[in-house]
Chains A and B, each alone.
Chain A
Amino acid sequence: GIQVEQSPPDLILQEGANSTLRCNFSDSVNNLQWFHQNPWGQLINLFYIPSGTKQNGRLSATTVATERYSLLYISSSQTTDSGVYFCAVGDYNQGGKLIFGQGTELSVKP
Chain B
Amino acid sequence: NAGVTQTPKFRVLKTGQSMTLLCAQDMNHEYMYWYRQDPGMGLRLIHYSVGEGTTAKGEVPDGYNVSRLKKQNFLLGLESAAPSQTSVYFCASSYLTPSGGRQVEQFFGPGTRLTVL
Interfacial residues, chain A to chain B (CB-CB below 8 A) = 1, 4, 30-31, 33, 35, 41-43, 45, 48, 86, 88, 92, 95-103
Q: Is the CB of A88 within 8 A of B42?
A: yes
A4 neighbours in B (Cβ, 8 Å): 42
- B117 interface residue (CB < 8 Å to A): no
Give 6 closest A-B pairs by Cβ, nearest first. Answer: A100-B42, A96-B103, A48-B105, A43-B108, A92-B103, A100-B43
Whole-angstrom CA separation of A43 from B106 in the bound complex: 11
Q: Contacts A41-B88, A45-B105, A102-B41; is A96 near B110 (CB within 8 Å)?
A: no
* Chain B residues near A33 (CB-CB < 8 A): 105-106
Known A-B contacts A43-B90, A92-B102; the reply to A97 vs B107 at CB < 8 A is: no
Among the listed stretches B15-23, B44-52, B62-70, B71-79, which one makes contact with chain A, having 4 or more residues with CB under 8 Å of it? B44-52
Task: Contacts A95-B31, A96-B94, A97-B58 known; list 4 others, CB within 8 Å.
Answer: A43-B108, A99-B45, A100-B43, A102-B41
- A48-B104, A92-B104 in contact; A97/B88 too (CB < 8 A)? no
Chain B contact surface mostly: strand
Identify the closest chain A residue to B97 (Cβ): A92
B56 at the interface (CB under 8 A from A): yes
Whether B105 contacts A98 by the Cβ 8 Å rule is no
Once bound together, how far apart are the Cα atoms of A100 and B108, in whole Å? 13
Q: Can you list 20 pairs linking A and B with CB atoms under 8 Å apart? A: A30-B102, A31-B103, A31-B104, A33-B106, A35-B108, A41-B111, A43-B111, A45-B107, A86-B42, A88-B43, A95-B50, A95-B56, A96-B33, A96-B48, A96-B106, A97-B58, A98-B45, A99-B45, A102-B40, A103-B42
Give the CA-CA distance A41 to B55 in the complex, in Å: 27
Q: Are the C-beta atoms of A102 and B42 separated by less than 8 Å?
A: yes
Contact with A along B76-110 (1 / 0, CB 8 A): 00000000000010101010000000111111101
Report the minimal beta-carbon distance from B102 to chain A, rounded to whole angstroms: 6
Chain A residues lying within 8 Å of B110, measured Cβ to Cβ, are 41-42
Q: Which of A30, A35, A100 contacts B44 (CB 8 A)?
A: A100
In the assembled complex, the CB of B27 is this many whole angstroms from the nearest CB of chain A, namely 13
B111 contacts A42, CB within 8 Å?
yes
